[in-house]
Amino acid sequence: MPSDASAAGPQDPYSSYPPVPALTVTSSDIADGEPMPTPQRSGVMGAGGEDRSPHLAWSGAPEATLGYAVTCYDPDAPTGSGFWHWIVTDLPASVTELAAGAGAADGGQLPDGARQLKNDAGMRGYIGAAPPAGHGAHRYFFTVHALDVESLGVDDDASPAFHGFNLFGHTLARGSLVPTSITEG
């Protein structure tokens, strides 16, 4: 059954979590409710893009913030469990911005100490939007999590779900940008 962001379906993946203050998240590349630009679509998965992570900036973190994590999640993927496109963990509290392309597989543009876990395609780094043809609109939750720890202590080979489980108990504030992607057919 095709997914439609405007129809009843998976909601905000964080809506069942305890409420936390909102971070303000901005980007010069993506916007809420707007189609994902070509550079942020996948080339590896055949969507004609560049697998280039978007620029992200954030503000409004609580004073107790000791670190951050950044994730990108598609709850509309036809998997039964969504699809994790990007996981960055152990970002220092002094970092409030990631440049476009920071999600390159080599991690060379990430701040010292930050690490990328494998996404659901089994690769480190950002993998762009590539919903199946005819599946309709997908939403991509680019989320910044302000944390009460410098590191979640997850292993480099931890799954995105395990990382998310560890975020649950350490998130002080959270903010998201949610662009969309629509396929033809």
For the stretch 4-45, pLDDT in tens is 444 434 578 998 889 999 999 999 999 999 999 999 999 999
pLDDT at 1 (0 to 100)? 32
Task: Identify which of 99, 113, 90 has the alpha carbon closest to the alpha carbon of residue 52.
Answer: 99
More confident residue, 131 or 56: 56
Q: How confident is the model over 55-59, as a mean pLDDT?
A: 98
* CA gap 114, 102 in Å, rounded: 11
pLDDT at 132 (0 to 100)? 87
pLDDT at 9 (0 to 100)? 47
**What pTM was estimated for this model as a whole?**
0.92
Q: How confident is the model over 66-90, as a mean pLDDT?
A: 96
**pLDDT at 101 exceeding the cut of 50:** yes
Q: How confident is the model over 59-75, as a mean pLDDT?
A: 98
pLDDT at 16 (0 to 100)? 87
Q: Compute how many other C-beta atoms are within 10 angstroms of the C-beta atom of residue 84.
A: 22
DSSP-assigned letter for residue 54: P
DSSP 3-state of 145 = strand
More confident residue, 3 or 78: 78
DSSP 3-state of 73 = strand
Neighbouring residues of 99: CB distance < 8 A, sequence distance ≥ 6: 55, 109
Task: Identify which of 15, 21, 13 has the alpha carbon closest to the alpha carbon of residue 147.
Answer: 21
Domains of the chain, first to last: 24-181 (3.90.280.10)
181 pLDDT tier (thresholds 50, 70, 90)? confident
**pLDDT at 177 exceeding the cut of 70:** yes
* CA gap 71, 86 in Å, rounded: 5
